[in-house]
Amino acid sequence: MPFREGPLGDLKVPLTWTAAVALIVAAVIAVAFLLADRRETLQEQAYGVTRQTVDVVAKPVSGAIAAPGRWTGLGLDFVRSYFFTASENRRLKSELAEMRQWRDRALDLQDQNERFKSLLGLRTDPPIPMASARVVADSRGPFANTRLADAGSERGIEVGNPVLNERGLVGRVVGVSRGASRVLLLTDIASRTPVMIDRTNARAILTGDGGPNPKLEYLRGVDPIQQGDRVVTSGDGGVVPRGLPVGAAVKGLDGRWRVVLFADQSSIDYIRILLFKDFAQLADEKQLEAKTLPPVTTEDPQTSILSAPTPPAPKPAATTTPPSAATATPPAGAQPKPATPKPAAPKPAQPKPATAATPVPTGSPR
């Protein structure tokens, strides 16, 4: 077996012996540590000194040995947190974009809900059935100002039905088909609506001229209107029910009275169509049919009272006057007045014809 060469080669110690000695020393040290770590040892002072010595020696060595690992762990944690933060940032951005869409949808539904509540809050007196619709097209032009709604004849809508939104009167239906109806706005030049001033009950005609504020025409009465007066439908002519809100009165720059409409004509979306034909539909048909009307008579009530049956008069006693005399001389009160003949017109005088004079003989011949 070869021996190690070096400064210690003179000791002539084989390599196996060196390994055996190192193993024995390590085992002894390990046993010493185990015995020193026993808590039930009676040599508390020796235990404290041993532990303190080991801690003092092992602390800087352990710190130096553990520093690279600790730094490596911190670096790995930083890289891991960076990639996690980037991934989390992308995820949160995606969720934020989705939440924004849901927020917009929620705001839209909230707005629709508020409009539906306002539309459902519309009431007429007396109650009139209504049909809800949505404006789907705007056919505004230089000569026409109408809207197209997505409800038609299948909902009972007819030409002439008034149209409202949550703020007030919008116009009336001028065309109906299945699934659609055309609404003529109050601002159209062909629109004519009977209205009245709510404060004075003064009547007028609301006339559209293509502008945003239609004008009031044919106002009657002394001081019938003032700035800011509320304008409502009058119901005259049976075109629309009475009392529907229209707008507020203002005086234009041209000196004519106009109406600022409650229903903004540029932002009409959801509408309610009154299924109103005329005032005859407001009557209670069942109540009218239940009441029996008295028979129609041409007699005057006073005459019928005076012509009540009276007891028969007693017959007059028989007289010796012949029937001819009795019938020939009626009573004085019942004698007819003799008719007075009209005087005849005088005849014109006729001239006599002229005759020649003839001599009269004095004696007759024998």
Secondary structure (H, E, C), the chain: CCCCCCCCHHHCCCHHHHHHHHHHHHHHHHHHHHHHCCCCCCCHHHHHHHHHHHHHHHHHHHHHHHHHHHHHHHHHHHHHHHHHHHHHHHHHHHHHHHHHHHHHHHHHHHHHHHHHHHHHCCCCCCCCCEEEEEEEEECCCCCCCEEEECCCHHHCCCCCCEEECCCCEEEEEEEEECCEEEEEECCCCCCEEEEEECCCCCEEEEECCCCCCCEEECCCCCCCCCCCCEEEECCHHHCCCCCCEEEEEEECCCCCEEEEECCCCCCCCEEEEECCCCHHHHCCHHHHHHCCCCCCCCCCHHHHHHCCCCCCCCCCCCCCCCHHHHHHCCCHHHCCCCCCCCCCCCCCCCCCCCCCCCCCCCCCCC
Question: Which band of pLDDT confidence, cut at 50, 70 and 90, is reported for residue 296?
Answer: low
Question: Does residue 45 surpass a pLDDT of 80?
Answer: no
Which of 46, 33, 266 minimizes the C-alpha distance to 147? 266
pLDDT at 357: 46
246-279 per-position pLDDT tens digit: 999 999 888 899 999 998 777 788 899 999 876 6
Question: Does residue 227 surpass a pLDDT of 70?
Answer: yes
Higher pLDDT, 310 or 230: 230
204-214 per-position pLDDT tens digit: 999 999 888 99
- Stretch among 28-32, 146-150, 163-167, 324-328 having the lowest mean pLDDT: 324-328
Question: Does residue 323 surpass a pLDDT of 80?
Answer: no
Question: Does residue 309 surpass a pLDDT of 70?
Answer: no
- Stretch among 58-62, 95-99, 186-190, 213-217 having the lowest mean pLDDT: 58-62
Question: Which band of pLDDT confidence, cut at 50, 70 and 90, is reported for residue 61?
Answer: confident
7-27 per-position pLDDT tens digit: 555 555 566 777 788 888 888
Q: Please give the structure tokens belonging to residue 55.
A: 């801690």
Q: What is the mean pLDDT of residues 271-290?
A: 70
Question: Which band of pLDDT confidence, cut at 50, 70 and 90, is reported for residue 320?
Answer: very low
128-160 per-position pLDDT tens digit: 888 989 999 887 666 678 999 999 999 999 999
- Stretch among 44-58, 151-165, 352-366 having the lowest mean pLDDT: 352-366
**CB-CB contact of 257 with 228 (8 Å):** no
Q: What is the mean pLDDT of residues 225-251?
A: 92
How far is residue 350's CA from residue 57's CA, in Å, rounded to a whole number? 188
How far is residue 108's CA from residue 274's CA, in Å, rounded to a whole number? 26
Higher pLDDT, 121 or 192: 192
- Match domain 130-281 to its CATH number in 2.60.40.1190, 2.40.10.340, 3.40.50.300, 2.60.40.1120: 2.40.10.340
Q: What is the mean pLDDT of residues 215-240?
A: 90
User: Distances in Å between the alpha carbon of 306 and those of 187, 300, 302, 309, 313?
Assistant: 64, 10, 6, 9, 17
Average pLDDT of the chain?
76
Question: Does residue 291 surpass a pLDDT of 90?
Answer: no
Question: Does residue 361 surpass a pLDDT of 60?
Answer: no
**CB-CB contact of 149 with 181 (8 Å):** yes
How far is residue 241's CA from residue 239's CA, in Å, rounded to a whole number? 7
- The structural domains of the chain, with segments of one domain joined by +, span 14-99, 130-281
| Residue 5: how many other CB atoms lie within 10 Å | 7
Q: What is the mean pLDDT of residues 281-303?
A: 56
Question: Across the strands, what pairs with 204?
Answer: 195
Question: Does residue 235 surpass a pLDDT of 50?
Answer: yes
pLDDT at 350: 55
Question: Does residue 63 surpass a pLDDT of 80?
Answer: no
Residue 264's Cα: distance from chain center in Å?
A: 12
Q: What is the mean pLDDT of residues 319-326?
A: 46
Q: Please give the structure tokens belonging to residue 295.
A: 């028979």
pLDDT at 11: 52
